[in-house]
Each structure stands twice: as structure tokens, then as C-alpha cells.
Chains A and B, each alone.
Chain A
Amino acid sequence: MLHRFANPTRFLRIASIAQPWIAWATILLAGTGLYLGLFNSPADYQQGESVRIMYVHVPAAWMAMFCYTSMAIAAGIGLIWKHPLADIAAKATAPVGACFTFLALFTGSLWGKPMWGTWWVWDARLTSMLVLLFLYLGYIALINAFDDPARGTKSSSILVLVGLINVPIIKFSVDWWNTLHQPASVLRMDGPSIDESMLWPLLLMALAFKTYYIWVLLVRIRAEIISNKIRILRLRQVHG
């Protein structure tokens, strides 16, 4: 038992030191990024002011995939090396990733209506992103469906690993098939096809989203460790 909690205890100590710093970094980055994106960057030559949706949409979509990949790595480590902290990290990431995915879909829809002329189409990019949202929701439902947390963790970790196949499909959907969604503007082989005046606010926002994720992750992992401790104490009381 001691060995099982050795690492989480050390984690809790480091987390409580790191948390305020990360919180401040998030506030600063998001503040600067939003100011630059919304007030101090040019309108697009074709999209006009609607381009500003991108400063939320693109980082949210990146984070949706980043969170899923992190969750899969954590779930894999939990499954193979039985590391309790990894399982907790995977569980703590899921709702955050689901929110990012929803945000990407929602803002994309808001942008799609004035630009494309439709809220939604079933093209490869949009559909695979919707599948990602369902994978997150499925994971959350599955891990909470078991009375025995250990069994729930195992089944849901397998689900996450199977769903990992969707991440490269999302990323390359716009290259493999023709889609209504445009191809990548930033992460592409021949360099970004986005003007520098728009790239900087976008990268700041992307960084802000990332630190926000770390911040929320630390809070959620702490809460999860503490609630596990409470559960164990209660079980001990009951079983005397």
C-alpha cells in the first residue's frame, strides 16, 4: 500500500508548488493571445472578421487531439506497467478533452455557416472529429459504469487505446480524402500558409490552451487522489 502511494504523494507535493505558476502563465498567455487575436490582428482578405473564430477553434481542435493522445499514453502506461498515477491522469484528462472537442466542433459550426454556407456537413474531417467526441464520452461513461474501479479502468483503457486510431485519421483526413474542410495551415510540410500577423496570436492561444490543460489536470489529479484516499479510509472503517 505504501509503495502504491509513494509516487502520488510526491506528485501532490510538486503539483502544489507548480499549480499557481501554471495558473498565472495561463491567464497571461490567454489574455495576450485574446487581445492580439480579437483586437490587434488584421481581418482576413476573404473571411473578414470571421477569421477571429480561428484563434479559439484551431487551438481547441489541437488540444482535442493532444488530450486524446496523452490520455491514450497514460492509459497504456496504466495498463502495461500498472502505474496508478497514469490511470488517474487518463481519467482526469477525459472531460477536459471532451470540452475542447466540443468547443472545436461548436466554433467550427459558427464559422461554417457564414463561410461555407452550412452549419454541418458529413465530410471526413468533421465526422472523425465527432467520433472523437463520442470516444471521450464513451470513455467517461464506461469508467464510471463499474462498481469496482479497477475493472472499470481496465476496460476503459482498452477503449481509449482502440480509439487512438482515430487521431491520425483526423489529422490526415484533409489530405487523404477530399473534404469541405480546408487542409492544415500551420502544421504542414512546406511551412505555414498563414500570415505572421495571424500566426503569433494563434500560437499564443495554443500555448494558453496547453497550460490551461496542465492547470486543470493538476487540480483534477489532486482531487482524484484525495477522493481515492477517502474511499480507502471509508472501506477500512467498514471492514474494521
Chain B
Amino acid sequence: MKRKHKRLTFVGLALLLLATAAALTLSAFEESIVFFQSPTDIVTKSVSPNKRYRLGGLVEEGSVRKKDDAVVTFRITDMANTVNVSYRGILPDLFREGQGVVTEGFFVSDVFTADEVLAKHDENYMPPEVADALKKSGKWNEMSSKMKKQGHVLGGGSQ
């Protein structure tokens, strides 16, 4: 074996080992790498009242209620489970029903009291005319339900 072949094997093996180590580490830390938890994650685990959570999902259609003194309540859903959320503050521009959001806060009894609401943007880029045309032809729901099934609106995840 020539020296350069030795070096090639060595570098190849080292990279392979490194990739394995990285894969093991990342899968071990999965819990802390995910940015938010879905309503199903929250519902299936028992929640502790003093722990900060990030809850993400879609704002359920028809669930947004604006109360006095700038409090907004809505439900976050992942199409399987829903969680009631209350938030006091200014909502981001992209916040609307059917849109993905990530909220951060505490559970006060059964209501998730958020102190931060971030809008999630999906990967679809199109001019307004195209969006209108899709809605008119009825393809819009087809597309969004396909995306929800793939979990894209909810950010992938590892289900």
C-alpha cells in the first residue's frame, strides 16, 4: 500500500466514524433539538405548571377570539389534538387562522398562556393571483391537506 492510499483509507474511515458519532449524538439529543412540541406531544405527556414550553401547530380555523385589553385566545391544532392558548400582546403579521405558529409560555391549568407568538411561514411561494386561482379552482384545499398530511406546515418532525 502506498502512503497516499493509506492516508485515503485513514481519512475515509475517520469521516465514517465521525458521521456515526454525530448521528448517535443528534438522535440522543432529539428532545432538546426540536424547536417546539406539537399538541399531541403535550397531550400525551403530563405537563408541569412551572415549566416553559414551546407549542407549535396550526391556528385552528374559527378559533381566534379577540377579548378586551389586547388578549387573544385561539386553539392550536396538529389535526389530531388541540390546545387552548391565550396571549396578550401584538401578533405577527402572518398570524391568521390556518397558519402555522410557534408559541412560548406556561400552562395555567389547561390553558397555555403564551408570552410570545411567532408566525411560521411555509415553503410555498406564489403571487396573489396564483393563490386566488388555486382557491377558485378548489385545488387550494387539496394542496394544504396534502401538506398537512406530510406534516410540512408543522415543520416536519420525526413522526
Contacts and interface: CB of A to CB of B under 8 A. Distances in A.
Interface residues of A, number: 44
B15 interface: yes
Contact of B4 (A81, A122, A123): A81
A121 B126 CA distance: 26
B149 interface: no
B152 interface: yes
Interface in B12-52: 14-15, 18-19, 22, 26, 30, 33-36, 38
A177 B54 CA distance: 14
Interface residues of B, number: 45
Contacts of B118: 116-118, 121, 180
Interface string B106-150: 000000000011111111111111111000000000000000000
B11 A161 contact: yes
A46 B94 contact: yes
Given A54-B125, A195-B130, A183 B152 contact: yes
B125 A195 contact: yes
Contacts of A76: 11
Nearest to B120: A180
A178 B122 contact: no
B105 interface: no
10 contacts: A45-B130, A165-B22, A169-B22, A176-B156, A177-B34, A178-B56, A183-B123, A193-B123, A194-B123, A194-B124
